[in-house]
Amino acid sequence: MVFSSMTFLLLFLPVTLLLYSLRSSIRWKNGVLLAASLIFYAWGEPVYILLMLMSVGFNYICALGIDRSSSDRLLRKLWLVLGIVSSLIFLLWFKYAAFLTNSFADLFSLSYHIADKKLPIGISFYTFQVFTYTVDVYRKKAAVQKNPAKLLLYVSCFPQLIAGPIVQYADVAKMLDNRPFNTVRFSEGARRFAVGLAKKVILANLCGAAISRIDPADTTTVVSVAGAWYAALMYTFQIYFDFSAYSDMAIGLGRLFGFDYKENFNYPYVSRSITDFWRRWHISLSSFFRDYVYIPLGGSRCSVRRAIFNMMVVWSLTGMWHGASWNFILWGMYYGVLLIIEKYVIGRDKIEKIPFIVRIPFVFVIAMIGWVLFYHTDLSLAFRQIGAMFGIGGAGMELVDPLTAAVIRKYSVLPLIAAVASLPILPAIKKRFSGAAAQTLSYVAATALMVLSIIFLVGQSYNPFIYFRF
Amino acid sequence: MKKRSGFFMLTMWWFILLAIIGGLVVLFTPNRERISQDENRVLQNAPKFTLSSFAKGEYASKFEDFLSDSIPGRKALINISDKLTGLMSRNTDEDMYHLDNTDKEVADYQGDGSGSPDSGQPSSQNSGDENNHSSDEQDSDKSGKDAHFELVKRNGGTTPIYTYSYANIKRVAGNIEQYADLLPDDGHVYFTLVPFPKLARRFTGNLDTYSGWRCDVFDEMKKLTSDKVRYFDTLSILEPHMLEGEDLFLHGNHQWNIKGSYYVYCEMIKAQGLTPTPYDEYDYKVNHPQTGSAVTKANDTYELLYPLAPSNNYRVKNINQKEKIPFMAYNTAATSAYLYGYVQPWKTVTTGFHTGRNALVIGDCFDLSLTPFLLPYYDTVHKTDIRYIVFDRKKLGTSVADMMKRNSIDDVYFIFSEANDVNSATLLHALTDNLN
């Protein structure tokens, strides 16, 4: 089920809220939330719920094993390895088996190939959550969870189940036992949810519609310079509004049910460096790779050569996490190389001396080019579009074709709205006008956004979240 | 504090209202067939819950369709949504031309200056692995096989384009049979469906990936109709020509070109034991789109045939009144006016031949390039556009069956594009709604 579906908005969410608020005991609330989360996940893909249950079950046992063998370091490690393997094995099988096998077969010209598997929804997200639980228990960062239902609730909790943010167990362990549920949190959560829904339904989907008109993946057409840039720009906005909208809704829903999830985005398109961009984009994923891969590898507290190696490993994995395809790996490595250049070739001090008015657009363009790599699973199409952006390839220096001109005119106001919405204007307003009137206004605006979202939702029939496939 | 509880009440009311709407839809949506004429599809009713449909995810997807199709005030909400989106636009007519031709939901509209535009939408837009948002009949019939339209990959795999449920196939077959029943003993129904150029380009633009395209919908329909109904699989007829690099679809319009129609006509005529007229026996005028127009870049040429005998073309306003109109738009730079007067409930062409037989062509704009080839075989060729959005029974003053009787129709040709396929309200409902 998706947040922007009628089933969720008209039935699932109101019914869950009603049942959740019927009784104040945490057992009841956890029970309602767990049942709702399992229905949420099973809706549409019931078979794959077994995978999630198995993954949680294995890690529940492994964590207990870790906890009980506290004096035996070897045994603890063994339980940890078993836990990690059992959490990653499904992800490897469903997401990477075909890609790795076929790439290997292609490399050695073998005829053996296996077909791509259907990816269970949210597997990349919940796998990492299960993983953090076992590792946090091993690191003694969190106490073992003896109640399997609570562990299952942590992993399957529907607000963050299928597209994050990736919640680390240590951050929510206490909330599983005790969390506030009050009117202030409820209204704030609802307001945040409305903002997210509008971002998805109005902005992200309209940007998606604009891209599909130009269709830079259509091999039968030639893309002009303006077409290539416009498609890249709209995808840059679409992916931001799509994914950050989901995080907004997840955080808002979390608050409705008493959970506090960390922010996942912080206006990444005003970043002043690539490092800054990754501090603002998909923060929970960056934090995961930092805490569970980069630092264990040695981080930057080692020789430069080793640090560079560590960075390339982390960024290749980051790319690969997004999809089993070379374009994602290349996209990850693209950022790895840029970050290495920023840190070890130019130096962050020098970068900071460049006026921000130059740095922000530069980082934005770098991100746009990155998103072109990200968009096309066929690398030749990605290079074709990047070539077209600089007047190289099929259309040569044809600046603008009639179709692009028509699309730009059709969605003439959209890039402006998208640009404004991706700037940190709201926090600035909030800072300046924090009185009761501003509060009231924010709720009136949220109500209007909610109504508009429903209207747009009825007007659209097909609106999947981009991040579901990861 | 008061304000805070006010915010809580406000936001709580959002969810209460949503729940009320959801409840209204679930409890009070009538369980009868509902057609959206604008969208050319049957709206989804509440699906039946079965464990297998739930396990396959079909139930969830149909339930979602049911909710969005049944929301109170749906049409008004869609209009508001369109208007709000429109506020962001400032398109010219030329822009609209480009957008129509690249729109995945391409409008089946051909402006030839002789009628009002229509906006029939393709009934099933799924491609790849997306769910088919089609007008499946509500209760699935499992007594036969579903049919599939797919692109065939060189590695042996396929890319699914459309799925036609057996329930829909059965219903459409039944509808066609009703037309066959109205014909004399030696009369036949000739049926074909033509894909859009976008799909053709997806195939021919990726010949390193695809080796062909196919659809088994006619295999299933044949089993359900009498020998009077003959099916012509456009995909397999056109495929060898397309693989040889022949361009059979327009680039600046959403139709096939006259050569594509010619190949299908040849098969239709051969099936009657007759010999098709060689293509070069026709005189034709090549029309290029107006210089500087939006479609110049598409580089299409339009071969407008002169009929082999003096023919007259009439717009039938109603049973008592007909008006002569040009045969083709020879003097205009209209981009695809093969047979003039497209958006009409009924048209009649007197062919100038004397064969003692009369034909009725039922189709959308895709028949316009094929119909001229049929003239030498009939005294009169009638054309009706039966889609809800075009056919006006009140204005015409009678039904299609009555018109068939009045005009002594011997053969009926169904020539539709993929916009009016087996999943569309046109074939599922309009065919019979407008028949009697």
C-alpha–C-alpha distance, residues B256 and B261, integer Å = 7
Final residue belonging to a domain, choices A142, A160, A179: A179
Specify if B122 maps to a domain.
no
R_g of chain A computed on alpha carbons = 23
C-alpha–C-alpha distance, residues B104 and A209, integer Å = 10
Substitution target in A410, A440, A443, A462 with the highest count of B β-carbons within 10 Å is A410
Peptide bond into A165 cis (omega under 30): yes
Of A43, A439, A454, the CB nearest to B60: A43
When divided into structural domains, chain B yields a total of 2
Of B3, B14, B21, the CB nearest to A190: B14
Instruction: State the smallest CA–CA distance between residue B431 and chain A in angstroms.
Output: 26
R_g of chain B computed on alpha carbons = 23
Instruction: State the smallest CA–CA distance between residue B182 and chain A in angstroms.
Output: 40
Instruction: State the smallest CA–CA distance between residue B407 and chain A in angstroms.
Output: 43
Instruction: State the smallest CA–CA distance between residue B60 and chain A in angstroms.
Output: 5
C-alpha–C-alpha distance, residues A407 and A412, integer Å = 8
By DSSP bridging, strand B229-232 and strand B302-306 are unpaired
Q: Are residues B286 and B194 in the same domain?
A: yes
Specify if B140 maps to a domain.
no
**End-to-end CA separation in angstroms for chain B:** 68
C-alpha–C-alpha distance, residues B396 and B249, integer Å = 33
Asked if pLDDT for residue A61 goes beyond 70, the answer is: yes
Of A410, A440, A459, the CB nearest to B81: A459
Q: Are residues B68 and B156 in the same domain?
A: no
Helix (H, G, I), strand (E, B) or coil at B284: strand
Interchain pair B81, A447: CB under 8 A: no
Answer yes or no: are the C-beta atoms of B126 and B132 closer than 8 Å. Answer: yes
Specify if A191 maps to a domain.
yes
C-alpha–C-alpha distance, residues A193 and A334, integer Å = 33
Contacts of B292 (CB under 8 A, 6+ apart): none
What residues in A contact B76, CB-CB < 8 Å? Answer: none
Interchain pair B88, A414: CB under 8 A: yes
Residue count of chain A: 470
C-alpha–C-alpha distance, residues B52 and B55, integer Å = 5
Of A307, A301, A265, the residue nearest A286 (C-alpha): A265
Of A449, A470, A464, the residue nearest A4 (C-alpha): A464
Q: Are residues A173 and A213 in the same domain?
A: no
Answer yes or no: are the C-beta atoms of A33 and A23 closer than 8 Å. Answer: no
Average pLDDT, chain A: 87
User: Which A positions 18-77 lie with beta carbon below 8 A of chain B?
Assistant: 18, 43-47
pLDDT at residue B289, as a whole number: 58
Instruction: State the smallest CA–CA distance between residue B180 and chain A in angstroms.
Output: 37
Tokens 């947040």 belong to residue: A3
Helix (H, G, I), strand (E, B) or coil at B362: strand
Interchain pair A7, B14: CB under 8 A: no
Weakly modelled stretches of chain B, pLDDT under 70: 1-4, 89-142, 252-253, 287-300, 329-343
When divided into structural domains, chain A yields a total of 2
pLDDT at residue B92, as a whole number: 56
Average pLDDT over residues A405-431: 85
Final residue belonging to a domain, choices B68, B90, B112: B90
Of A410, A413, A447, the CB nearest to B10: A447
Helix (H, G, I), strand (E, B) or coil at A464: coil
Instruction: State the smallest CA–CA distance between residue A29 and chain B in angstroms.
Output: 18
Instruction: Report yes or no: B109 at the A interface, CB cutoff 8 Å.
Output: no
What residues in A contact B38, CB-CB < 8 Å? Answer: none
Partnered with residue B413 across adjacent β-strands are B190, B361
What residues in A contact B133, CB-CB < 8 Å? Answer: 461-462
CA B187 to chain centre: 24
pLDDT at residue A215, as a whole number: 74
Q: Looking at this protein, which amino acid is placed at residue B39? A: E
Answer yes or no: are the C-beta atoms of B371 and B383 closer than 8 Å. Answer: yes
Q: Are residues B196 and B55 in the same domain?
A: no
What residues in A contact B72, CB-CB < 8 Å? Answer: none
Helix (H, G, I), strand (E, B) or coil at A413: coil
pLDDT at residue B331, as a whole number: 59
pLDDT at residue A465, as a whole number: 45
In this structure, what are the phi and psi dihedrals at residue A220, rounded to the nearest 5 degrees? -90, 0
> Which H or E run includes B70?
helix B58-70
pLDDT at residue A461, as a whole number: 59
Q: Are residues A300 and A351 in the same domain?
A: yes
By DSSP bridging, strand B41-43 and strand B302-306 are unpaired
C-alpha–C-alpha distance, residues B181 and B188, integer Å = 10
Specify if B190 maps to a domain.
yes
Final residue belonging to a domain, choices B55, B90, B125: B90
Instruction: Report yes or no: A468 at the B interface, CB cutoff 8 Å.
Output: no
pLDDT at residue B306, as a whole number: 78
Interchain pair A411, B89: CB under 8 A: yes
Tokens at residue A310, please? Answer: 């560590």
Specify if A388 maps to a domain.
yes
Q: Are residues B85 and B157 in the same domain?
A: no
Contacts of A437 (CB under 8 A, 6+ apart): none
Instruction: State the smallest CA–CA distance between residue B201 and chain A in angstroms.
Output: 7
User: Which A positions 409-428 lie with beta carbon below 8 A of chain B?
Assistant: 409-414, 417
Residue of chain A whose Cα is closest to the Cα of B252: A403
Global pTM reads 0.76
Of B196, B74, B69, the residue nearest B133 (C-alpha): B69
Substitution target in B2, B5, B8 with the highest count of A β-carbons within 10 Å is B8
pLDDT at residue B101, as a whole number: 53
Contacts of B231 (CB under 8 A, 6+ apart): B191, B192, B218, B221, B222
Geometric angle at alpha carbon B141, from B135 and B145, rounded to 5°: 90
C-alpha–C-alpha distance, residues A375 and A361, integer Å = 21
Tokens at residue B419, please? Answer: 């916009």
Answer yes or no: are the C-beta atoms of B362 and B11 closer than 8 Å. Answer: no
pLDDT at residue B9, as a whole number: 84
Q: Are residues B165 and B85 in the same domain?
A: no
Partnered with residue B213 across adjacent β-strands are B151
Of A314, A5, A30, the residue nearest A149 (C-alpha): A30
Q: Are residues A33 and A83 in the same domain?
A: yes
Q: Are residues A138 and A251 in the same domain?
A: no
pLDDT at residue A312, as a whole number: 94
Q: Are residues B310 and B165 in the same domain?
A: yes
Tokens 């039938």 belong to residue: B316
Interchain pair B102, A215: CB under 8 A: yes
Tokens at residue B205, please? Answer: 């633009």
Q: Are residues A192 and A160 in the same domain?
A: no
Q: What is the pLDDT of residues A230-256, one digit of tens each?
A: 989 999 999 999 999 999 999 999 999
What residues in A contact B54, CB-CB < 8 Å? Answer: 46
Final residue belonging to a domain, choices B45, B61, B90: B90
**End-to-end CA separation in angstroms for chain A:** 16
What residues in B contact A402, CB-CB < 8 Å? Answer: 94-95, 98, 294, 297
pLDDT at residue B395, as a whole number: 81
Average pLDDT over residues A310-320: 92
Final residue belonging to a domain, choices A179, A194, A214: A179
What residues in B contact A458, CB-CB < 8 Å? Answer: 68, 71, 74, 77-78, 81
Q: What is the largest CA-CA distance in chain A?
A: 72
C-alpha–C-alpha distance, residues A331 and A319, integer Å = 6
Exposed e or buried b for every residue in B82-111, given b needs 16+ CB within 10 A?
A: eeebeebbebeebbbbbbbbbbeebbbbbb
Q: Are residues A171 and A209 in the same domain?
A: no
pLDDT at residue B119, as a whole number: 29
pLDDT at residue B337, as a whole number: 46
Specify if B250 maps to a domain.
yes
Owning domain of residue A453? 185-469
pLDDT at residue B263, as a whole number: 95
Asked if pLDDT for residue A146 goes beyond 70, the answer is: yes
Residue of chain B whose Cα is closest to the Cα of A220: B205
Substitution target in A19, A458, A468 with the highest count of B β-carbons within 10 Å is A458
Q: Are residues B79 and B172 in the same domain?
A: no
Which residues of A are known catalytic residues? 322
pLDDT at residue A196, as a whole number: 94
pLDDT at residue B317, as a whole number: 82
Of A15, A215, A410, the CB nearest to B99: A410
Tokens at residue A260, please? Answer: 């506090």
Specify if A255 maps to a domain.
yes
Q: Are residues A127 and A189 in the same domain?
A: no
Of B163, B195, B214, B118, the residue nearest B366 (C-alpha): B195
pLDDT at residue B219, as a whole number: 92
Average pLDDT over residues A443-451: 92
C-alpha–C-alpha distance, residues B296 and A405, integer Å = 15
Specify if B396 maps to a domain.
yes
pLDDT at residue B373, as a whole number: 92
The secondary structure of A387-406 as a DSSP string is HHHTT-STTTT----HHHHH
Helix (H, G, I), strand (E, B) or coil at B305: strand
In this structure, what are the phi and psi dihedrals at residue A204, rounded to the nearest 5 degrees? -60, -45
Q: Are residues A242 and A339 in the same domain?
A: yes
Instruction: State the smallest CA–CA distance between residue B70 and chain A in angstroms.
Output: 10
Instruction: Report yes or no: A437 at the B interface, CB cutoff 8 Å.
Output: no
Q: Looking at this protein, which amino acid is placed at residue A390? A: F
Substitution target in B5, B15, B87, B293 with the highest count of A β-carbons within 10 Å is B15
User: Which B positions 57-86 lie with beta carbon below 8 A of chain A?
Assistant: 57, 60-61, 63-65, 67-68, 71, 74, 77-78, 80-82, 84-85
Interchain pair A220, B205: CB under 8 A: yes
What residues in B contact A436, CB-CB < 8 Å? Answer: 3
Instruction: Report yes or no: B207 at the A interface, CB cutoff 8 Å.
Output: no
Sign of CA dihedral B135, B28, B81, B35: positive
Instruction: State the smallest CA–CA distance between residue B221 and chain A in angstroms.
Output: 30
Q: Looking at this protein, which amino acid is placed at residue B226? A: S
Q: Are residues A164 and A201 in the same domain?
A: no
> Which H or E run includes B61?
helix B58-70
Average pLDDT over residues A368-391: 89
Final residue belonging to a domain, choices A179, A203, A235: A179
By DSSP bridging, strand B358-363 and strand B411-417 are parallel
pLDDT at residue A219, as a whole number: 63
Q: Are residues A144 and A231 in the same domain?
A: no
The 8-class DSSP code of residue A271 comes to -
Instruction: Report yes or no: A436 at the B interface, CB cutoff 8 Å.
Output: yes
Owning domain of residue B80? 2-90
Instruction: Report yes or no: B117 at the A interface, CB cutoff 8 Å.
Output: no
Of A37-41, A399-403, B174-178, the least confident: A399-403
The contacts found for A296-302 with CB under 8 angstroms, 24 or more apart, are none
Instruction: Report yes or no: A435 at the B interface, CB cutoff 8 Å.
Output: no
Sign of CA dihedral A391, A395, A397, A400: negative
pLDDT at residue B183, as a whole number: 95
C-alpha–C-alpha distance, residues A283 and A51, integer Å = 26
Partnered with residue B214 across adjacent β-strands are B150
Specify if A1 maps to a domain.
no
What residues in A contact B297, CB-CB < 8 Å? Answer: 401-402
Q: Looking at this protein, which amino acid is placed at residue A102? A: N
Q: Are residues B207 and B340 in the same domain?
A: yes
Specify if B178 maps to a domain.
yes
Of B165, B169, B236, B164, the residue nearest B203 (C-alpha): B236
Q: Are residues A21 and A86 in the same domain?
A: yes
Q: Are residues A212 and A341 in the same domain?
A: yes
